[in-house]
Chains A and B, each alone.
Chain A
Amino acid sequence: MSYAYLFKYIIIGDTGVGKSCLLLQFTDKRFQPVHDLTIGVEFGARMITIDGKQIKLQIWDTAGQEAFRSITRSYYRGAAGALLVYDITRRETFNHLTTWLEDARQHSNSNMVIMLIGNKSDLDSRREVKKEEGEAFAREHGLVFMETSARTAANVEEAFINTAKEIYEKIQEGVFDINNEANGIKIGQQATPTNPALPGSGGAGGAVNSGCC
């Protein structure tokens, strides 16, 4: 259960683009064709390995509906990474990206890593947004881009892991202040859960972080 770092993610984007399905595919490795509308926010978690280090991802999957927008805004600030998702078969979800991005930039900390995701790449016959358009948008706004399919699991792992890599690199470069938990990053406590005398202290103990040079 112990980890070197813990990253907090949020998944944002229009309703019905497949945010919950992406999360389910990533955490449970399964696809649910019929998914209820997310109410507010749901939580999921998984451990990954980067550079030989265990990294825990805690992911908050937000509701895409406008009605929940004020609730989901509360999650921007504390997140280290965001997956901004649109649906390649619905042009309007791509058109709304600017609004989402403005919202995210306004409420989040400036270092938050944003990954642009064009989901439902398995439905190529119904495609309305070209891959090049996604790439162009990402380039223009300085995002990382990827097309995924929550149904076939194509690129789903990569999307989450690449975002984590990006954050990890930023930590190594010293961009993130890792001692400020409001950034959505936590340093792992070399947890000793069975020891009653020392209930896991704030433990910034020099376990990690050798990113000086």
Chain B
Amino acid sequence: MEFLKSGIKTVLGSTEPGQQPSAAETVEKLVDRVYSSTLLEDRRDACRALKALSRKYRIEVGAQGMPPLVQVLQNDGQDAEIISYALDTLCNIVTSEEFDEEADNPAVSVNVGEQFTEMFIKSPEHVTLVMGYLDEYDFRVRRAAIQLITSLIANKTRELQDLVLVSPMGVSKLMDLLTDSREVIRNDVLLLLIELTKGNSNIQKIVAFENAFDRLFDIVREEGCSDGGIVVEDCLILLLNLLKNNSSNQQFFKEGSYIQRLAPMFILNSELEDSGWTPQKVSNFHCMLQVVRALVTPSNQQQVVNACQRVMQKSQLLQALCDILMSSGVPADILTETINAVAEVVRGDHDNQDELSRVLAPSQPPRPAIVVLLMSMINEKQLLALRCAVLYCFECFLYRNSDGQRAVVQTLLPSSTTDVSSLSTGQLLCTGLFSTDTLANWFSAVAIMHTLVENVAQKEELLRVLLATPGGQRPITLLEQCTNLMQQERYRIQSKVGLLMLLSVWLAHCPSAVKALLDTQGTMAYLTAQLCANEHDEREYLVQGMCAFLMGLCIQFNDNSLANQRREDISQLIIKRIGQETFCNKLGEVSRHEAYSRACKQPQIRAKGASELLLDYEYCKLYKGLEALIAKLVSGFDVDGIELTELTLSSEASALVAQYKGIIRGMDGQIQSLQLSNKELEDQNDELKQQISQEQSLKSQLADQNTLLKAQLTAAATAAQTAGQEQQQAAQPQEELNAARYQANMYFAENIRLTKELETLRQQLAAEKQRADAASQLQLTTQKDQEDLLELLADQEAKLAEYETQALPANSEATSAQR
């Protein structure tokens, strides 16, 4: 302190002894000097003093010093030293960090830095001025400018982002600094960019455009990848900022083959097991996993997720992640995050799901990785976050994976001849379901539930699952056991919630499961009792709401095949024992519970404490889709069982039916007209055939005549010859010969004429034939057309039938009500 005072004394000149100047007065004098000194040295000294004071007397310096410091920045650009003092001083004023020197100063409030930031950026040209000093190569100036801008952004992110965006080449200039050969500058720029890219997709895109991915991967590699220091972490945080919720950058990342650069970083080297994980390595790895998840998280654009998932498999990133799952010595939080990452990499991608199902754990005997993971899930001693991650992973493995769902259900069926000694997924889940650990109950119920999501075939298969009872009596079905457990007092609420979700998903869209549930002892009575009960706490309300939903499903998907348990019977039960209003009110409890909004947010299971685990994402989806339907259905029944709603089909549905009817009517008309024209063509064809046969007979007649004539001709010729011979021998009269000649000529002419006629007839015949051919071809095509149309009609009828089955619930209500 003495040093400081003496320093000030040298600058200000000594004051009168015994009169200590106040901080404000000192600052005022210094500010005066900065303003009015003609010598650069004086101004520089004053700035240096202001900088020294700015840590302890931040308010005084900030209140008076800003304009002169800006003036320095405007006018003294050629002197690096004074500029660096000015920038440093401003940085001290606006930073949100609290200095040790001012710790005991009550005037310094928490957000004093923020207020000064606001003052400073009120004129945007101040920011442009500071940005300009980024071009200055001098180390002190450039670094001070970077630090000042970083502090400004940290305090007023939105405003600064907008200012940087409008300043010409602002972002590009900042990106250039990333290639600065001085590491300190580069590292400071990383921090600046992390602040700058927060929640601003335009800046994120420009930064990515300016080759940020290349730069960052280069730095990460130079610094030793995941073994590197805090700079690696900074790079990864920036990478994460660029990718999170930015589909354009995600696509660019994928297209630029950066996933391929990320993948090798996940390969653990063998020495790690011995040397252990340093805290920095844990942080780096955590960020890397976050980057992976940012690319494939379910809330991203579906096509981006799919494309990234494909690349992650091809680049063996998925394999590296699975290897981490199965290696030892991995810290728990890294393991948890890896499980979450694997979950999202495989979610909904069949090949990746397959790959996960083939991963084997290095145990004796080797077990599938999924089995090992599920073992941790039902293990009470495991961390909650890890257990949640495993469930999430299992859910993602089953998501849109009917083969996987079937495989899990198969392990529960009696037919499967699995080795008794080896644990199966089904066995594990049953163990969890019946264990005394409430969380294991919940996890297992939700896991089984996910084998049934959108898969009616498995819902029916699971009905066949039988469990041996301890007493050695008749085996009991899984569904029955679930209803029994639900009714037991010792089974706690969380477990009941799990079971109710399992049963609800099971019953939805599966009439045979509804039938099986209605067949069990006491279930309906239990549900009714739950709904009638009144004095309970908030969590009980949730259970009541879920019971109401389950009961509603029993109506909605009831095929009326059980006497006394038909749709209207259950509706009557509700009307008489519970009351429609109460029922609908209780039904709404589910969506009013905070667990509901929490679970709806994302598929991932997030819970700070074990008690937060109540509802599941898929259950909420089902509930959301059916709640209104059930409420409408139940309130639509009258005391006498007459359904009140007039329209059995929704307006949308009836419009569709009408539309189909119209289409079919049109088709019908078309078919009739085609049939008519077809008949006409057939008639024509007959006629033509007749004509042809006539022509043919005519032709054969003519041929006969022709042969006859030919024969006559030859006869005549021979006659003539003999006549000639006779003339010589017997000197027959000339007259006779002439007559014969004449006759022969006549015959000849006649013959020519007839041949000609025959020729024309032949031609006619050929023409007729051609016409006949054409006609029959026409007929053929018409027949084919007709067939096509019939097929189309059948198709349409099938569609209509299908549609009517879809509308059946409503329809059958109508009929049953009318009955």
Contacts and interface: CB of A to CB of B under 8 A. Distances in A.
Interface of A: 1, 8, 40-45, 56, 58, 60, 70-71, 73-75, 77-78, 107, 181-182, 191, 193-197, 199-200, 202
30 contacts: A8-B209, A40-B202, A41-B248, A43-B248, A43-B249, A45-B255, A58-B252, A58-B255, A58-B256, A60-B205, A70-B165, A70-B166, A74-B165, A74-B170, A74-B206, A75-B206, A78-B172, A78-B209, A78-B210, A78-B211, A107-B169, A193-B261, A193-B263, A193-B315, A196-B264, A199-B217, A199-B225, A199-B261, A199-B264, A200-B260
A197 B249 CA distance: 27
B252 A77 contact: no
A194 B316 contact: yes
Interface in B755-796: none
B251 interface: yes
Contacts of A196: 264, 267
Nearest to B249: A43
Interface string B197-219: 00001100110011100100110
Interface residues of B, number: 34
A1 B257 contact: yes
Given A78-B210, A193-B263, A193-B264, 8 more contacts: A43-B205, A43-B252, A43-B255, A45-B255, A56-B255, A58-B252, A181-B214, A182-B211
Nearest to B166: A70
Nearest to A79: B209
B221 interface: yes
Interface in B554-589: none
Contacts of A74: 165, 169-172, 206, 209
A39 to B, nearest CB: 8
Nearest to B217: A199
A191 B315 CA distance: 11
B205 A41 contact: yes
B625 interface: no
A56 B255 CA distance: 9
Contacts of A73: 168-169
B256 A199 contact: no
Contacts of B267: 196
B257 A193 contact: yes
Nearest to B211: A181
A59 B172 CA distance: 18
B209 A75 contact: yes
A62 to B, nearest CB: 10
Contact of B202 (A45, A71, A202): A71
Among B217, B248, B267, the most chain A Cβ lie within 10 Å of the Cβ of B248
Nearest to A189: B257
Among B166, B206, B210, B316, the most chain A Cβ lie within 10 Å of the Cβ of B206
B265 interface: yes
Nearest to B254: A45
Tell me whether chain B's interface is mostly helix, strand or loop, or mixed: helix
Contacts of A1: 257, 260
A56 B257 CA distance: 11
A120 to B, nearest CB: 25
A42 B263 CA distance: 26
Contacts of B166: 70
Contacts of A44: 251
Interface string B250-282: 011001110011011101000000000000000
A140 to B, nearest CB: 27
Among B209, B249, B265, the most chain A Cβ lie within 10 Å of the Cβ of B209
B239 to A, nearest CB: 14
Contacts of A56: 255
Among B170, B225, B260, B267, the most chain A Cβ lie within 10 Å of the Cβ of B260
B252 A71 contact: no
Nearest to B220: A199
A200 B251 contact: no
The 10 residue pairs across chains A and B that have the minimum distance between CB atoms: A193-B260, A196-B264, A45-B255, A43-B248, A74-B206, A40-B202, A70-B166, A43-B252, A196-B267, A71-B202
Contact of A40 (B205, B225, B251): B205
Nearest to A70: B166
Contacts of B211: 78, 181-182
Contact of B201 (A8, A40, A107): A40
A58 B168 CA distance: 23
Given A74-B172, A75-B206, A107-B169, A194 B252 contact: no
Nearest to B171: A74
Contacts of B257: 1, 191, 193
B172 A42 contact: no
Given A40-B205, A41-B248, A199 B265 contact: yes
A194 B205 contact: no
B216 to A, nearest CB: 12
Given A40-B205, A77-B172, A193-B257, A71 B165 contact: yes
Interface string B612-650: 000000000000000000000000000000000000000
Contacts of A78: 172, 209-211
A189 to B, nearest CB: 9
A107 B172 CA distance: 11
Nearest to B256: A58
Among A56, A71, A78, A193, the most chain B Cβ lie within 10 Å of the Cβ of A193
Contacts of A199: 217, 221, 225, 261, 264-265
Among B169, B201, B249, B264, the most chain A Cβ lie within 10 Å of the Cβ of B264
Nearest to B266: A196
Among A42, A107, A199, the most chain B Cβ lie within 10 Å of the Cβ of A199
Contacts of A45: 251-252, 255
A213 B431 CA distance: 76
Among A8, A74, A197, the most chain B Cβ lie within 10 Å of the Cβ of A74
Nearest to B204: A40
Contacts of B251: 43-45
B264 A195 contact: yes
A28 B217 CA distance: 29
Contacts of A8: 209
Contacts of A191: 257, 260
Nearest to A200: B261
A175 B170 CA distance: 27
Contacts of A107: 168-169
Contacts of A181: 211, 214
B77 to A, nearest CB: 24
A125 to B, nearest CB: 33
A114 to B, nearest CB: 18
B226 to A, nearest CB: 12
B260 A60 contact: no
Interface in B259-314: 260-261, 263-265, 267
A194 B315 contact: yes
A148 to B, nearest CB: 23
A181 B248 CA distance: 20
Nearest to B205: A41
A60 B257 CA distance: 17
Nearest to B320: A196
Nearest to A197: B264
Contacts of A75: 206, 209
Interface in B210-250: 210-211, 214, 217-218, 221, 225, 248-249
Contacts of A60: 205, 209
Contacts of A197: 264
A115 to B, nearest CB: 20
B105 to A, nearest CB: 41
A45 to B, nearest CB: 4
A55 B776 CA distance: 59
A200 B259 CA distance: 12
A73 B202 CA distance: 12
Nearest to A45: B255
B253 to A, nearest CB: 10
Interface string B155-187: 000000000011011111000000000000000
A18 B415 CA distance: 61
Contacts of A40: 201-202, 205
